[in-house]
């Protein structure tokens, strides 16, 4: 029994801060390191740690079956690649807000995939979320920056991955994370062929960049450990809502380190996104909270 009921929320706050720091480090690397390198290092470290943890626990690693595992891993890998692209092309607070719309996608996808028909309140939440996203995206589309759309794609892919997790409860979660991370490595390598890059070993792996890349992996790992600890000892729905504080941390980082300001219309859009997201996460029996335990978001990166 947990005799300190506030601890899970404190751990979730620490995890959110660590993930926001990871996003900030990624953003800081954007001028001197290809984002594909950042994502690749993150994926490889996640795979290595997951395999070591699985081996230490005696968990059996899986590769080919079940097929749902591949759905989850492929969707999660797409989310990871898209998230790291967005982090190097947008303010991290915008990316955090857009990628955290995944509960809205889960609610919609649960209809065709799980047979759960959304009620009126869910549809109102969807309308609110879509309106908020439109307000946040507007300046980016005016600038011809498609990173906002890519961040939304990351959120959609995360929702698909989480619904896949809902069907993998019989498999050790360390094995699930290891499988996802291994697939993510290949997706990160494939991103070099899809997106422009300037692969210079001397520049990408300079002493400065190596330190920041190691910090990206470290903060992501620390964040995942705190997140897992929070979900293991606290109410998943309430812990999930606390996880939205990473958006607040990201806004503070944007303001302090990059002197970004926020237009009233952007702030209003964020409220329209966060409010229904928090409500959907807090609903009893909602799919997402339990799945978030191993979600690599945002950056499968999310969500492991």
Cβ neighbour number for residue 256 with a 10 Å cutoff = 10
How distant is the alpha carbon of residue 124 from its chain centre? Answer: 24
Rounded average pLDDT over 167-195? 78
> According to the model, what pLDDT value does residue 223 have?
79
How does the average pLDDT of the chain come out, rounded?
A: 77
CA distances from 294 to 68, 150, 201, 267 (A): 15, 22, 32, 30
Of the candidate ranges 145-159, 173-187, 213-227, 283-297, the one whose mean pLDDT is the lowest: 283-297
CA distances from 158 to 5, 9, 30, 260, 270 (A): 29, 23, 23, 27, 19
> According to the model, what pLDDT value does residue 97 have?
87
As given in the structure block, the two tokens for residue 258 are: 């990059």
Half-sphere exposure at residue 168, Cβ-oriented, CA atoms within 13 angstroms:
31
Gap between the Cα atoms of 191 and 16, Å rounded: 27
> According to the model, what pLDDT value does residue 296 have?
38
> According to the model, what pLDDT value does residue 6 have?
77
Put simply, whether the predicted model's pTM sits higher than 0.75 gets the answer yes
Q: Does residue 24 surpass a pLDDT of 90?
A: yes
Rounded average pLDDT over 177-197? 83
Question: Positive or negative, the Cα torsion across 33, 35, 39, 42?
Answer: positive
Most confident option among 78-82, 100-104, 238-242, 265-269: 78-82
Rounded to the nearest 5 percent, the helix, strand and coil shares of the chain are: 75, 0, 25
Q: Does residue 25 surpass a pLDDT of 90?
A: yes
CA distances from 112 to 164, 169, 171, 263, 295 (A): 13, 21, 24, 37, 22
User: Domain boundaries in the chain?
Assistant: 7-294
Per residue in 41-56, pLDDT (tens digit) is 888 887 888 788 878 8
As given in the structure block, the two tokens for residue 267 are: 């702030």
- Coil vs helix vs strand at 304: coil
Rounded average pLDDT over 18-24? 91
| 298 or 82, higher pLDDT | 82
Gap between the Cα atoms of 242 and 57, Å rounded: 29
As given in the structure block, the two tokens for residue 203 are: 């520049």
Q: Does residue 165 surpass a pLDDT of 80?
A: no
Rounded average pLDDT over 189-199? 77
Gap between the Cα atoms of 8 and 236, Å rounded: 10
> According to the model, what pLDDT value does residue 187 have?
92
Of the candidate ranges 28-32, 95-99, 177-181, 215-219, the one whose mean pLDDT is the lowest: 177-181
Q: Does residue 293 surpass a pLDDT of 50?
A: no
As given in the structure block, the two tokens for residue 277 are: 């997201």
Rounded average pLDDT over 12-35? 89
Residue 166 · residue 291 · CB < 8 Å: yes
> According to the model, what pLDDT value does residue 26 have?
92
Residue 160 · residue 106 · CB < 8 Å: no
Q: Does residue 31 surpass a pLDDT of 90?
A: no
Q: Does residue 201 surpass a pLDDT of 60?
A: no
Residue 283 · residue 276 · CB < 8 Å: no
Per residue in 80-112, pLDDT (tens digit) is 899 999 998 888 988 888 888 877 787 777 777
> According to the model, what pLDDT value does residue 299 have?
44
Q: What percent of the chain clears pLDDT 90, i.e. is strictly above it?
A: 5
């Amino acid at each position: 029994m947990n005799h300190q009921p506030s601890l899970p929320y404190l751990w979730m706050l620490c995890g959110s801060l660590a993930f926001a720091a990871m996003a900030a480090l990624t953003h800081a690397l954007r001028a001197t390191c290809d984002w594909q390198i950042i994502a690749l290092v993150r994926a490889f470290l996640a795979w290595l740690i997951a395999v070591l943890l699985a081996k230490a626990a005696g968990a059996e690693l899986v590769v080919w079956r079940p097929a749902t595992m591949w759905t989850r891993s492929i969707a999660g890998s797409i989310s990871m690649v898209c998230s790291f692209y967005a982090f190097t092309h947008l303010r991290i607070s915008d990316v955090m807000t857009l990628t955290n719309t995944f509960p809205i996608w889960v609610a919609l996808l649960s209809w065709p995939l799980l047979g759960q028909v959304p009620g009126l309140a869910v549809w109102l939440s969807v309308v609110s979320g879509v309106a908020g996203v439109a307000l946040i995206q507007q300046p980016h589309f005016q600038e011809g920056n498609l990173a906002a759309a890519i961040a939304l794609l990351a959120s959609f892919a995360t929702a698909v991955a989480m619904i896949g997790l809902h069907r993998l409860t019989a498999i050790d979660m360390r094995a699930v994370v290891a499988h996802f991370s291994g697939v993510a490595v290949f997706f990160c390598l494939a991103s070099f062929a899809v997106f422009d890059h300037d692969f210079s070993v001397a520049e990408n792996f300079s002493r400065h960049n190596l330190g920041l890349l190691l910090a990206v992996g470290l903060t992501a790992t620390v964040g995942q450990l705190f997140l897992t600890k929070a979900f293991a000892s606290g109410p998943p729905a309430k812990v999930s809502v606390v996880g939205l504080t990473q958006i607040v941390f990201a806004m503070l980082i944007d303001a302090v380190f990059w002197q970004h300001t926020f237009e009233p219309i952007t702030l209003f859009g964020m409220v329209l996104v966060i409010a229904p997201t928090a409500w959907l996460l807090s609903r009893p029996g909602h799919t997402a909270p339990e799945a978030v335990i191993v979600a690599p978001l945002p950056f499968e990166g999310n969500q492991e």
